[in-house]
Amino acid sequence: MLLSNQPKFYGRRQGRKIRKAKSGLLDRFLPRIAISGTAPVTKNMFGVPVDEIWLEIGFGNGEHLAGQALRHPHIGFIGAEVFKNGVANLLTLLTGIKESGDMPEQITLLPERVDNVRVWNEDVRLLFERIPDGSLSRVFLLFPDPWPKKRHASRRFVNPDNLKEIARILKKGGIFRIATDHKVYKGWALRRMAETPDFRWTAKTGNDWRYPPADWVETKYQRKAVAEGRRPIFLDFERL
């Protein structure tokens, strides 16, 4: 049910029919790693001890989230994604289960993984109020929906309200990383970020934003953009 004070979400919540293995994962594995209840977000919400918390907003198919979580077993990752099919894909990456024939009685993470991912299968704006001030070290916003038409500009995720929340939840020195391939969004994001006194763009040379950062994991939208001839940019902002 949509309450009147809830922000309106304009994207898709579900796409193609979710195949049996993935819907089995959504039913049986998602509840184990989903963020539920009303408690504040803390380092204790992960199944392993973690040193920091990183948040990925709109993780899509989850490649970047799953890849970063594998590389950084001592970081707790929160992935927020509204799109059910994307969440189901992330669960496949975490468990290795692709076919319903692979579905064991007890579903577990792949042996190389630790229990450091938690999923918010809703609009991230509804999670913000549960994240204490200065509690995150990184926030990723990778290839956000560009909403290129002028009349849809208010739907763009990089906007003053969201930036205020991201500035609040990031600790000083924390990084907010935006990637985009869309020509309208490139200028838009840089202008909105330049307007906020809470962040400093870290780029020193053109190569710092033209090429992915060293710890980058490729995403589906990035591959699509490159295949269609668009050049993504990678913007890191430090919380001051």
Ligand X SMILES: C[S@@+](CC[C@H](N)C(=O)[O-])C[C@H]1O[C@@H](n2cnc3c(N)ncnc32)[C@H](O)[C@@H]1O
Q: Is 178 helix (H, G, I), strand (E, B) or coil?
A: strand
Tokens matching residue 180:
């985009």
Return the residues of window 114-153 that contact ligand X according to CB under 6 A.
123-125, 142-145
Contacting ligand X (CB under 6 A), which of 28, 130, 168, 220?
220
- Structure-token match 């009685």, residue found: 105
What is the size of the binding site for ligand X (CB under 6 A)?
24
80 binds ligand X (CB under 6 A): yes
User: Which is nearer to ligand X, 61 or 92 (by Cβ)?
Assistant: 61
Give the per-residue contact string, 2-31, with ligand X (x = CB under 6 A; - = no): -------x-x--------------------
Is 198 assigned a catalytic role?
no
Buried-exposed string 133-160: b where 16+ CB fall within 10 A, e elsewhere: eebbbbbbbbbbbbbeeeeeeebbbbee
Shortest distance, position 128 Cβ to ligand X, whole Å: 10
Shortest distance, position 124 Cβ to ligand X, whole Å: 4
Contacting ligand X (CB under 6 A), which of 69, 84, 219, 233?
219
Question: ∠233-238-240 over CA atoms, to 5°?
Answer: 150
Shortest distance, position 138 Cβ to ligand X, whole Å: 14
Report the distance separating Cα 133 and Cα 173, nearest Å. 13
Closest by alpha carbon to 92, among 160, 179, 28, 186? 28
Active-site entry in 51, 123, 145, 161: 145
CB of 215 within 8 A of CB of 68?
A: yes
174 binds ligand X (CB under 6 A): no
User: Which is nearer to ligand X, 20 or 223 (by Cβ)?
Assistant: 223
User: Which is nearer to ligand X, 48 or 153 (by Cβ)?
Assistant: 153
Report the distance separating Cα 18 and Cα 16, nearest Å. 6
Which residue type sits at 34?
A: A
Residues with active-site annotation = 145
Residues near ligand X, by CB under 6 A: 9, 11, 57-61, 80-83, 86, 123-125, 142-145, 157, 219-222
